Structure 1
Amino acid sequence: MPGRNHLFVPGPTTVPDSVLSAMHAQMVDHRSPVFPQLVTPLLQDLKKVFRTEQGQCFILPATGTAGWEISLANTLSPGDKVLAFRFGQFSHLWIDMAKRLGFNVQYDEIPWGQGIDPNRVEELLKADAGHEIKAVLICHNETATGVTNDLAAIRKAIDAAGHPALFFTDGVSSVASLEFRMDDWGVDVALAGSQKGFMLPAGLAMLCFSQKALKARETAKCPRCFLDIADHINANKDGYTPYTPAISLLYGLRKALDLLLEEGMENVYARHARLAEGTRRAVKAWGLELCCRDPQKYSNTVSAIVVPQGFDARDVMHYAFHRYNLSLGAGLSELAGKVFRIGHLGDLNELSLSSAIVGAEMAMLDVGIPVTPGSGIAAASSYWRETAKPLAPRG
């Protein structure tokens, strides 16, 4: 098929050419005296993305799923009680992991498409008078449904309950894209993956631990070896890793962090918000709805779009891929066939995102969904033009 594939799943995301070039490098000795010149600045600059001065960052050759296990196994003990909320596929999987690791999981069922009510968090923690709950597990951005939770409000709820539980956050599809402030929001463990906002291939799990979480590690009794951050603490202090690192990905991460910090994190957040709003304007112009029902919780990294009754979203994806070389995200689990997803995160601008909107619209028309041709891109482009930064006169 001529032309490149247009990748608009919510991860992996498109890798910038400069990042690809940075990874195309010869291997080096990761025990050499110069290797710390790569590792130490990476760990310091990650703190600027997690927005922390007090926390400590870690990089492991793994994925966001491993990040879930790292957060749990390094701070808790078998049988500890944790509080979680099931409102999408990824919150469901984190709960499943916690159960399989032997933790006592208390969780609330929330309809998919809704988010977490901070008042409910406060209520549940106040009811735990004996402080049996040792950690609260929150997916910041539920990638399956396009719902973003208010972490600042959840932190206030934990504080209002006077509860000492650790605050864990899955930031895989939010960190480096959505506003994230680890210190300001009192997050104890935040985890991310390389394949989304960091604009890299999958293969790195990046985490940040608060001082409170690092203290909890001292009494945690979960078995751990490869995922034990104690080994990283010992090796990282000298700029090394406890085992063979993913060297090519570290080169790529160096360039990706340079791009993010050069743009400025506030500008990164604003760009994602603006591009996402254009996508939502397109969905509205099509006469369709988002899976997320609360406009205050709309995700700025992914939109899950509900197809009309009688249609299968998988058909839209089929036509998009085979006819237009466009990859859209699938509906997962309970949402299979009911939604398709447009990922709008990472290395993109108005014109790149326009290809996803146009392609999705053509695919919907191909399967018979009654949308007005050209309506989506007209709505999105009008919004983007109206909100574009003014340019200085030519010359």
Structure 2
Amino acid sequence: MTSRSGRHFLQIPGPTNVPDQVLRAMSAPTIDHRGPDFAALTTELLASLKPVFGTAGDVVVFPGSGTGAWEAALVNTLSTGDRVLHVETGHFATLWQQMAAGLGLYVDFVPGDWRHGASPEAVAERLTADSARTIKAVCVVHNETSTGVTSRVSAIRQAMDTTGHPALLLVDTISSLGSIDYRHDEWGVDVTVAGSQKGLMLPPGLGFNAVSEKALAASRTARLRRSYWDWQPIIEANRCGFFPYTPATNLLYGLAEALRMLQAEGLPAVFARHDRHAEATRTAVRGWGLEVLCADEREYSSSLTAVLMPEDQDADKVRKIVLERFDMSLGAGLGKLAGRIFRIGHLGHFNDLTLAGTLAGVQMGLQLAGVRVDPRGLTDALDVLRAQ
């Protein structure tokens, strides 16, 4: 194995770099998850999580992945044969609708081109046509990790409201929570799905649902089978600071530290930092003469940028060179975008110099791969960082 100096640059859009202070917090001795110290930890954690989701309601924490949190959102609110509206925005939206079908739900899938977010107009059209009110939920990915496109959730809620349709709104924020402005209560979201390994700066292993009162009411009559993912016993146990099973104690230590870091910086400052890093990255891409995959500037992601390669170039070749020469990982193209794009993650524990190094590595990798790029792309990005 080749010995490398320095740290590996993990610039995929999740899992992200885990801060040293979070790693240290996770290394603390495990405590009794039925004792008073753990109850105090849980109570503080749940209170600190709510502002990150933008909710005053319940937030459920599972030992599990974001995919598990998807399943929890579906099985707690729906029954076999229910109709759900899924909007295709990329690879992960497609996987979510496949899960819904596998659970016995009837999926109404709105096709998309993977370059645009969920269309509020298309959602309104489908709901308006549903005069029998058979659609029980609308499922949208807020920030599509495979494409770098952010759907306008508030506009989707407004479109739903104009139809007077009673469907629930379920939103995946796995690659946006803690990185992009998000407002569960204000935007009328019923279930927000999230994971620990991106904007929350933790390793994988925790899944989250923020739950509205409407969703809680739906869970009382929903008939999809559930046991591990059932909200009710968790919410009940959480009221005393506990869980109905063994929790991921040391990940919760890390979560407490990550939340303290977000609070210290302030969420508006966190979002502004992600916005400017995203703008600098897009500036570099345009300066190189390449194309940002997202086709609507209203839907640019502040968590990652997907770079569309020229037709005669292989994005995976660039990624391979960057990894071997500069010890940096970039995100691969997924699904039908495999080999066509690479993804630059710029979320989580991230600063100006890390971004500058990332973009320098990408520029050198493109040049070594024989892609004709203008080297002023990096300079232009540095100008953005310097000016703000």
- Mapped to 1, the partners of 2:381 and 2:230 lie a distance apart of 46
Aligned ranges 1:135-150 → 2 under 5 Å:
135-150=137-152
Aligned ranges 1:252-291 → 2 under 5 Å:
252-291=254-293
- Mapped to 1, the partners of 2:130 and 2:264 lie a distance apart of 45
Q: Deviations over 1:199-220 (max 9, x none)?
A: 0000000110001101111001
- Mapped to 2, the partners of 1:85 and 1:153 lie a distance apart of 14
- Mapped to 1, the partners of 2:116 and 2:187 lie a distance apart of 22
- Mapped to 1, the partners of 2:6 and 2:115 lie a distance apart of 35
Aligned ranges 1:313-352 → 2 under 5 Å:
313-352=315-354
Q: Which residue of 1 aligns with 2:384?
A: 383
- Under a length normalisation based on structure 1, what TM-score does the superposition of the two structures give? 0.96
Q: Which residue of 2 aligns with 1:23?
A: 26
Secondary structure at 2:169's aligned position in 1? strand
Aligned ranges 1:102-121 → 2 under 5 Å:
102-121=104-123
Q: Deviations over 1:164-192 (max 9, x none)?
A: 00000000001111000111100000011
- Mapped to 2, the partners of 1:238 and 1:305 lie a distance apart of 47
- Please tell me whether the aligned partners of residues 89 and 141 of structure 2 are also in contact (alpha carbons under 8 angstroms): no
- Mapped to 1, the partners of 2:326 and 2:196 lie a distance apart of 27
Aligned ranges 1:1-395 → 2 under 5 Å:
1-53=4-56, 55-373=57-375, 375-387=376-388
1:87 Cα shift?
Answer: 2.1
In structure 1, what residue type is equivalent to 2:26?
A: M
- Please tell me whether the aligned partners of residues 47 and 57 of structure 1 are also in contact (alpha carbons under 8 angstroms): yes
- Please tell me whether the aligned partners of residues 358 and 376 of structure 1 are also in contact (alpha carbons under 8 angstroms): no
Q: Deviations over 1:54-103 (max 9, x none)?
A: x2101110010001100000011111000011120000000000000000
Secondary structure at 2:287's aligned position in 1? helix
1:386 Cα shift?
Answer: 1.2
- Mapped to 1, the partners of 2:327 and 2:138 lie a distance apart of 41
Secondary structure at 2:193's aligned position in 1? strand
In structure 2, what residue type is equivalent to 1:231?
A: P
Secondary structure at 2:104's aligned position in 1? coil
1:267 Cα shift?
Answer: 1.0
- Mapped to 2, the partners of 1:354 and 1:50 lie a distance apart of 30
- Mapped to 2, the partners of 1:122 and 1:263 lie a distance apart of 38
1:230 Cα shift?
Answer: 1.3
In structure 2, what residue type is equivalent to 1:382?
A: D
1:33 Cα shift?
Answer: 2.3
Stretches of structure 2 lacking an aligned partner (at least 5 in a row): none
In structure 1, what residue type is equivalent to 2:330?
A: L
1:284 Cα shift?
Answer: 0.6
- Mapped to 2, the partners of 1:323 and 1:386 lie a distance apart of 30
- Mapped to 1, the partners of 2:180 and 2:117 lie a distance apart of 16
Secondary structure at 1:172's aligned position in 2? coil
In structure 2, what residue type is equivalent to 1:376?
A: G
Secondary structure at 1:280's aligned position in 2? helix
- Mapped to 1, the partners of 2:7 and 2:179 lie a distance apart of 24
Q: Deviations over 1:139-178 (max 9, x none)?
A: 0001111100111100000000100000000000011110
In structure 2, what residue type is equivalent to 1:281?
A: T
In structure 2, what residue type is equivalent to 1:350?
A: D
Q: Deviations over 1:298-346 (max 9, x none)?
A: 1110100011121100000000101100000000010000000000100
- Mapped to 2, the partners of 1:135 and 1:93 lie a distance apart of 16
Indicate the larger mover: 263-272 or 331-340: 263-272
CA RMSD of aligned residues (A): 0.8
Stretches of structure 1 lacking an aligned partner (at least 5 in a row): 388-395
Q: Deviations over 1:272-302 (max 9, x none)?
A: 0011000000001000001111111111101
- Please tell me whether the aligned partners of residues 88 and 118 of structure 2 are also in contact (alpha carbons under 8 angstroms): no
Secondary structure at 2:329's aligned position in 1? strand
In structure 1, what residue type is equivalent to 2:28?
A: A
1:34 Cα shift?
Answer: 2.2
In structure 1, what residue type is equivalent to 2:279?
A: E
Secondary structure at 1:34's aligned position in 2? helix
In structure 1, what residue type is equivalent to 2:16?
A: T
- Mapped to 2, the partners of 1:160 and 1:123 lie a distance apart of 11
- Under a length normalisation based on structure 2, what TM-score does the superposition of the two structures give? 0.98
In structure 2, what residue type is equivalent to 1:357?
A: L
